[in-house]
Chains A and B, each alone.
Chain A
Amino acid sequence: MNKPEFIKNNLSNNIEGKLYLGIDVGSVSTKCAIINENNELLFATWTRNDGSPIVSTQENLRFMEEVLPDNIEKRIYGVGTTGSARYLIKALIGADIAKPEIIAHAIGASTYTPDVRTILEIGGQDSKVILMKNGIVTDFNMNSVCAAGTGSFLDHQAVRIKVPIEEFGEYALRAEEEVSIAGRCTVFAESDMISKQQEGYSKEAIIKGLCKALVRNYLNNVCKGKKLFPPFVFQGGVAANSGIKNAFEEELGHEVIIHENHYVMGAFGSAILAKEYVNGQVSSFHGLKISEMNLAPGSFVCPDCANRCTIKYLVREKDKNRVNGKEKDDAIFARWNSRCGKW
């Protein structure tokens, strides 16, 4: 199990006011952020997911319980979730609101750079471009059928050529020669890289070529001829890679802003959304005690009407065998995803 890492910790006992928690459960990592009423980021963590989003969320919450002051649980007035597992985690921790990551990222970025027009976001498994005007999303696009050029791909290549992913950017900046690598497809890129290695190019040059190919692919596949206006903000996990940032600046011919908290921008945005949504009412947050429970997800198809919704549920691990969908049981922790609201 990967231990959660700090990104920021400005919380202490003597901070006053209400606090809001945002959780971004992505495909590769889980991020938590705590903000205060003035939209200031006070605390942030980052964990690599090892398969289960539930376990990594619990790990994060347990970590928060350890390091944070004791009374923090009572001071959280609203919780928002985002990312691909947002409904699961919403059910798990009793969050107030689950919003797609596109909106969360847009809110997060426009809080730091109010006049932002283009947000470039490359995450673990998806890449997206968000166009904004006067703080409102006007258009967005996500990669549709291809994951070439996302964080997972870089991760995989880093393992293959034995360069730690954290040093990817430095390697790219050190490169002295130029190599062209096919970025259209992960498989093609990989075979290109192998042959370039055999031709004797240095690791640095290949990594630089890879960064450029990735950016080219992103601009063709995700931006698809949309008109991009500055200022640009680049966020998501891949933004830590300075090689990609350089390649973007070369292609766009303009400075690309990367905020220091780009990792947790989704979680930060969803905390702000939660703050706006709760607006003084009581939060449905279950508290940090969730981290102690042993929960398992499951699903069945509701037979009662023609919608055939796939009902998803969470049960305590020890009671898992007793659930068959029809009966209402104490063991069931939460159920959601029905159209009619029955479950």
Chain B
Amino acid sequence: MVNVRVSFSRLGWSYIFFKGLLYDLPGIELVDPPLVNTDIVSEGVKNSPEFVCFPFKFILGEMINLYHNYDVKDFMMIADHGPCRAGMYGVVQKRILKNIGLKDVRMFYLHQDDFRNLEWLGVFPKLEKRTGEKFSEYKIIRNTFLFLAKAYFVERITHIEGLVRCREINKSMTTKVVHTLMNLLDNENNLMKLSNFDRTIDEHFRKIPIDKEMEPLRVCYTGEIQVMLEKWVNYDLMGELGVMGIEVHKQYDVFDWVLYKLNASKRRRRLERKAKEYIPMDIGGEAVWNMGSYLESQEKGFDGFVHIFPFTCMPEISLMGMLEAEKNMDKFYMPHIHISLDGSSGFEGIRTRIEAFHDLMVGNKKSNPIFRDAKYVVPDEIKNIYFEPKSDFEYFVSSIEKPMSMLLTMLKPTKKLDLGFTIKNGLEFLSRNLSFDINSLFNL
């Protein structure tokens, strides 16, 4: 039996946890998606509609590249019914791929409308049908936890990366440590060992010699999630800001998004409450939460707000309009910069803007009393790594605490769950190997 080669879009480090979701399933061979480069992007741009958001273009380019050079014909994509058109990208991309002559492409959609309704489980029966193998329930449950755990650690590593880079004494040491950690995480598939990975992260970051007295400028770094993930697209802006000596507080990664779709993200609920006055509902992209994090970081006394989004991303442009409006000038006093990305390789224009933005923040810090008097607080992550190392007991407590708080948040849902739909999906999944057709029950 020939294995089915499956792959997905790389999206920065996200391929690590997508690999976790399909780890060790019989008949499936996972292919590491290659790094995005100019050729991939230009191939995607060539075959995309002109005014579609940029993530669509580079994901399409990645698929074409995987098809031609890595012999991959089966792709996993997300599908959604949200307010953002990104939810339907997989379907459109499949059509485009068929139209340009790649007839045997198959797409497996991971339905992320609401993870609680178990619709996403539908991806496994489809994969079983494709491979002709049976996946055991145990493996599927284990892989779900692998996915969640790996996504959590990827988010944590990238978050700490942004905080540490400005303090490093030997340049580019942080990048090396991050790559070592990601390699470790990619190869670790034992859930018991993963539960202790927090400690490994802290130990590796502790090896970086840092400037302990430093009180750097703080920046809230946020934007549309897919361009934030992919380094080629955003010119590794996070690293660029870090090298300038700015502490970057990265706001989102995929894990946070998954939590939100499980209705378990306390943080996003808090941000939504903050942003309610300006944006009362999810309008697509990350606009609501970006507004929330702007207000939150302004309260904390941050020095700036860096906002990146794909050219033609309507929700993020609405947010930009709100922040720049004349009548809101007094409410939004923290400096903000908006960078729209469309895959041009000219970094010079963006460098000019962020350097000028840096000078602006330095000037503010010197002379503007609002920013001069703001008290600098060392972030918890840095404190735990370099100043007050956690004890074994504290590590144990935090490894229990996080899932528990998730569960508690889930028990107080803000969105209604369609229980009948959930039961139907669950039963459909469990009865997938029986001859009895469960759907006939619902059609009565």
Contacts and interface: CB of A to CB of B under 8 A. Distances in A.
A29 B274 CA distance: 48
Interface in B283-341: 311, 324-326, 329, 335, 338, 340
Given A225-B324, A225-B326, A137 B360 contact: yes
Nearest to A82: B352
B82 to A, nearest CB: 26
Interface stretch (A12-20, A66-74, A96-104, A242-250): A96-104
A136 B363 contact: yes
A341 interface: yes
Contacts of B325: 225
B239 A339 contact: yes
A305 interface: yes
B179 to A, nearest CB: 5
Interface string B52-72: 000000000000000000000
A139 B243 contact: no
A144 B338 CA distance: 9
A226 B336 CA distance: 13
A145 B236 CA distance: 20
A99 B364 CA distance: 18
B356 A307 contact: no
A140 interface: yes
Interface in A284-343: 305-307, 339-341
Give the bracket for the number of chain A residues in contact with chain B: 20 to 34
Given A145-B342, A306-B179, A339-B239, A226 B324 contact: yes
A303 to B, nearest CB: 13
A224 interface: yes
A200 B72 CA distance: 62
Contact of B176 (A134, A137, A225, A305): A305
A227 B356 contact: no
Contacts of B239: 307, 339
A140 B171 CA distance: 30
Contacts of A100: 351-353, 355-356, 359
Given A134-B367, A145-B342, A339 B356 contact: no
Nearest to A142: B353
A306 B363 contact: no
Interface string A97-113: 00111110000000000
B348 interface: yes
A139 B311 CA distance: 22
B326 A226 contact: yes
A339 B231 CA distance: 15
Contacts of A225: 324-326
A112 B361 CA distance: 24
B384 interface: no
Contact of A339 (B243, B338, B360): B243
Contacts of B353: 100, 102, 142
A283 interface: no
B398 interface: no
B172 interface: yes
Interface in B334-392: 335, 338, 340, 342, 348-349, 351-353, 355-356, 359-360, 363-364, 366-368
Contact of B355 (A99, A144, A307): A99
Contacts of A226: 324, 326, 329
Contacts of B340: 144-145
Interface in B225-242: 236, 239
Contacts of B439: none
A142 B360 contact: no
A140 B356 contact: yes
Nearest to A85: B348
Contacts of A137: 356, 359-360, 363
A102 B329 CA distance: 21
Contacts of A140: 356, 360
Contacts of A305: 172, 175-176, 179
Interface of A: 84, 99-103, 126, 134, 136-140, 142, 144-145, 224-227, 305-307, 339-341
25 contacts: A84-B352, A99-B355, A100-B353, A101-B352, A103-B359, A126-B349, A134-B367, A136-B366, A137-B359, A137-B363, A138-B360, A142-B349, A142-B352, A142-B353, A144-B340, A145-B342, A225-B324, A227-B329, A305-B172, A305-B179, A306-B175, A306-B179, A307-B239, A339-B243, A341-B171
Given A100-B352, A142-B352, 5 more contacts: A99-B359, A145-B342, A225-B326, A306-B176, A307-B239
